[in-house]
Chains A and B, each alone.
Chain A
Amino acid sequence: MNDAHRFAPLARGLSRGFARRLAHALFALLAACIFPSPGIAAQGDGVRLHDIAWPRSFGYRIGDTLPIQITLEIDDGWIPDRDGLPEVGQGDRQFELRRLDVADASHRCAQCRTYTLEWQLMKSVRAPQTLQLAPTTLRFRKDNQVQAIAVPAFAINAAPLLNWQARTDWINSVHPGYRAQDFDVSAPLLRTAGWTLTAVTLLLAGLWAGGRLGGQGARPFARAWREVRALRLAHGRQGDGDALALAFRALHRGCNETVGRTVFAVGLPDFLRDAPEFDDLADDLAAAFAASRSVFYGLPPSARFARFDDLYTLLGALRDRERLHARHTPTAANAPAPTTAAGH
């Protein structure tokens, strides 16, 4: 094969590509003559990019704004083209234009103006991420001439919102890109634990004093004894008439609650039948009830139980028997298991 044959396809390809380009150029020239179009600004007359002041490229979270200040040197007669500037509200899923300001920047150069595009970050990220602010074009016109200024893309680092760090100024304590430190809550925890312990202790003490703890709720005479003891401390061993009446009421309440019904003097035998643990105190109880009737109903005064001490002693004895009975009464928890007869 000779060289002519070897380069023939290449020569054919080149000649075809050259012919096509030439045809395009001619067609374009013809079209430009028939349909006049906006021209390209001549060199040295138009809009020139002076500089761009970028915001920081890190530490953004949702809602933050990115002001981009574009300073342009604009010759006379050049104005922003219709739709040549982005509109407020325009944007993509990540950024949205919040503000577009134009300010004179003659301190920079004689014909300088600053266009401030304030974008807002609309995307919340789950983890630190780099987001791309798309390039923007600012287009200017003078008569039929158009000139576009390209604002390049800009990348920022966005971070998720973090837990607030301070109770008092929680809004400002939310920082992006910042790993929250745990509060040192040991002191308030200790303080709270101390107060809780104190409150629980007081509550338990109150319950105990009121006879509602440790099974005392089921021991009415223990409660009655406490009431009379308190009265005795407050009023002395003799006590006045009102205090003695209160003490007798405590005794009656103890009897009533023990058997679940009102116990009157004539009902004492029934009371002792239902609560045989007090059998040995039958005489004392009868005397106390008789004394109670003299206090409450105006019957002749009784020789016994005219003082606190007698009633206090009786209630102490009743309390002791009640406690003893409670210890020896099988409850559901400690009752012996029922025995079954083994038939052989």
Chain B
Amino acid sequence: MHPEPVDLSAWRTRALDFERQLNDVLVGMPRTVRLMTVAVFARGHVLLEGDVGVGKTTLLKAVARGIGGAYQRIEGTVDLMPGDLVYHTYVGDDGRPRVEPGPLIAQGSELSVFFFNEINRARPQVHALLLRLMAERTVSAFNREYRLPWMQVFADRNRVEREETFELPSAARDRFLMEISVETPDARDQLRGLMFDTRFHDADALIEKVTPATLDHTRLNDVATAIQDTVQSSEVLDNYGVDLWLATRRPAQYGVRLSDVDIEEFIQSGASPRGVAMLVRAARVHAWLEGRDRLVPEDLHDVFFEAIAHRLCLSPVYENQRPLYARPFVAEVLRQIASP
């Protein structure tokens, strides 16, 4: 805990400045940037989804630069083992074998953004290590325990190729605060800018425009705690949140219908208690960014899909078509569940 008290108003200004800088880097992605900002201040790990070349790495590098602290990246491969994250070995100039810290512990506790690219290419052993890392923010190596208090894991899933991939277990998916989709903008002038504006061609130069350590990463945990303590809910909204949760578990009972879907068979298991707790955590950050100290339904709505959809276990017959059904299902839940 940092000794200085948290000035949430000043921090909100910094958060909005951080958001603005990210929007300068990533054209046409205000919602993605807002969700990333929410994740940063909710201190949650994030699954990223998107095609290649849409700007995921640029986004993460910009976030890491804005947050401050160290940034590390590792590529998921089928032969990646948990040890590869913790150390690596090589033969030194003197011909003697050397063991050096791996990407997870190389910067010690300064690590603030850890990007795991194509996480579903890694084996379940690696997923297991990641589970502990995300839950406890600690890792054991060289006969000691390394604490990574400010680390956030950002992981990307390859959804195109299926060969030699290992789908994340539901327990691992549940550790992620959100799954954020990084999409190419639709607006024609933005697409033209991405094509012909040369400043977007050099990603590194673009990232350097982000003021380093706009947010002090060592204070983020305190700020997150303060936000959660400050933003209040109400009984009506609590009930609304519970209804939303139950509707993901028993959609038929709540009148949720999808065309061409047997809704009774659609859901194998709905959102977990941890999931809805994370939903409210993210919603509180959203309310704070909007300048409110009270939660309103729209705060839940704005993060609902990203915080809940990846936690839903669909029946096998629908699981293979998750992209087709998940968003309409969540939208229908929000349509059907009423709140004043």
The interface of chain A, by Cβ under 8 A from chain B, is 245, 248-249, 252-253, 256, 261-262, 264-266, 292-293, 295-299
Binding stretch for chain A, among B31-39, B215-223, B310-318, B332-340: B332-340
Write out the residue numbers on chain A whose beta carbons fall within 8 Å of the beta carbon of B334.
Answer: 262
Write out the residue numbers on chain B whose beta carbons fall within 8 Å of the beta carbon of A299.
Answer: 292, 294, 296
10 closest A-B pairs by CB: A296-B236, A261-B335, A262-B338, A296-B340, A298-B294, A297-B234, A252-B340, A298-B234, A297-B296, A266-B298
A261-B335, A262-B335, A298-B234 in contact; A245/B340 too (CB < 8 A)? yes
Q: Mark B235-267, 1 if CB is under 8 A from A, else 0.
A: 011000000000000000000000000000000
Q: Bound state CA distance, A265 and B339, in angstroms?
A: 11
Write out the residue numbers on chain B whose beta carbons fall within 8 Å of the beta carbon of A248.
Answer: 340
Given A248-B340, A297-B237, 15 new contacts (CB under 8 A): A252-B338, A253-B338, A262-B335, A262-B339, A264-B301, A264-B339, A265-B296, A265-B298, A293-B296, A296-B340, A297-B234, A297-B236, A297-B296, A298-B294, A299-B292
Write out the residue numbers on chain B whose beta carbons fall within 8 Å of the beta carbon of A298.
Answer: 232, 234, 294
The answer to whether B295 has its CB under 8 Å from any CB of chain A is yes
Q: Bound state CA distance, A23 and B84, in angstroms?
A: 148
Q: List 17 A-B contacts (CB under 8 A).
A: A252-B338, A253-B338, A256-B338, A261-B335, A262-B337, A262-B338, A264-B297, A264-B298, A264-B301, A265-B296, A297-B234, A297-B294, A297-B296, A298-B232, A298-B234, A299-B294, A299-B296
Write out the residue numbers on chain B whose beta carbons fall within 8 Å of the beta carbon of A256.
Answer: 338
Q: What is the CB-to-nearest-CB distance from B311 to chain A, in angstroms, rounded to a whole number?
A: 22
Q: What is the CB-to-nearest-CB distance from B233 to chain A, in angstroms, rounded to a whole number?
A: 8
Contact A296 B336 (CB under 8 A): no
Q: Bound state CA distance, A296 and B336, in angstroms?
A: 19
A264-B298, A265-B298, A266-B298 in contact; A296/B237 too (CB < 8 A)? yes
Q: What is the CB-to-nearest-CB distance from B43 to chain A, in angstroms, rounded to a whole number?
A: 25
Write out the residue numbers on chain A whose beta carbons fall within 8 Å of the beta carbon of B295.
Answer: 297
Residue of chain B at shortest CB distance from A255: B338
Q: What is the CB-to-nearest-CB distance from A242 to chain B, in angstroms, rounded to a whole number?
A: 12
Write out the residue numbers on chain A whose beta carbons fall within 8 Å of the beta carbon of B292.
Answer: 299
Write out the residue numbers on chain A whose beta carbons fall within 8 Å of the beta carbon of B335.
Answer: 261-262
Residue of chain A at shortest CB distance from B232: A298
Main DSSP-derived SS at the B contact region: mixed
Q: Bound state CA distance, A293 and B298, in angstroms?
A: 11
The interface of chain B, by Cβ under 8 A from chain A, is 232, 234, 236-237, 292, 294-298, 301, 334-340
Q: What is the CB-to-nearest-CB distance from B252 to chain A, in angstroms, rounded to a whole number?
A: 18
Q: Bound state CA distance, A292 and B339, in angstroms?
A: 11
Contact B340 A249 (CB under 8 A): yes
Residue in contact with B336 in the complex, picked from A249, A262, A265, A297, CB distance below 8 Å: A262
Q: Bound state CA distance, A261 and B255, in angstroms?
A: 11
Residue of chain B at shortest CB distance from A245: B340
Q: Bound state CA distance, A311 and B245, in angstroms?
A: 32
Write out the residue numbers on chain B whose beta carbons fall within 8 Å of the beta carbon of A264.
Answer: 297-298, 301, 339
Q: Bound state CA distance, A108 and B339, in angstroms?
A: 103
Q: Bound state CA distance, A14 and B339, in angstroms?
A: 128
Q: What is the CB-to-nearest-CB distance from B331 to chain A, in angstroms, rounded to a whole number?
A: 10
Residue of chain B at shortest CB distance from A249: B340
Q: Bound state CA distance, A120 and B301, in angstroms?
A: 89
A252-B340, A262-B336 in contact; A296/B234 too (CB < 8 A)? yes
Among A252, A298, A299, chain B packs the most CB atoms within 10 A around the CB of: A298
Q: Bound state CA distance, A262 and B331, in angstroms?
A: 11
Write out the residue numbers on chain B whose beta carbons fall within 8 Å of the beta carbon of A292.
Answer: 340
Write out the residue numbers on chain B whose beta carbons fall within 8 Å of the beta carbon of A252.
Answer: 338, 340
Q: What is the CB-to-nearest-CB distance from B290 to chain A, in angstroms, rounded to a whole number?
A: 11
Q: Bound state CA distance, A249 and B335, in angstroms?
A: 17
Q: Bound state CA distance, A293 and B237, in angstroms?
A: 10
Q: What is the CB-to-nearest-CB distance from A74 to chain B, in angstroms, rounded to a whole number?
A: 93
Residue of chain B at shortest CB distance from A264: B297
Among B234, B297, B336, B338, chain A packs the most CB atoms within 10 A around the CB of: B338
Write out the residue numbers on chain A whose beta carbons fall within 8 Å of the beta carbon of B236.
Answer: 296-297
Q: Bound state CA distance, A279 and B236, in angstroms?
A: 29
Q: Bound state CA distance, A295 and B301, in angstroms?
A: 20
Q: Bound state CA distance, A256 and B336, in angstroms?
A: 9
Q: What is the CB-to-nearest-CB distance from B315 to chain A, in angstroms, rounded to a whole number?
A: 26
Write out the residue numbers on chain A whose beta carbons fall within 8 Å of the beta carbon of B296.
Answer: 265, 293, 297, 299
Q: Bound state CA distance, A256 and B255, in angstroms?
A: 14
Q: What is the CB-to-nearest-CB distance from B317 to chain A, in angstroms, rounded to a whole number?
A: 27
Write out the residue numbers on chain B whose beta carbons fall within 8 Å of the beta carbon of A297.
Answer: 234, 236-237, 294-297
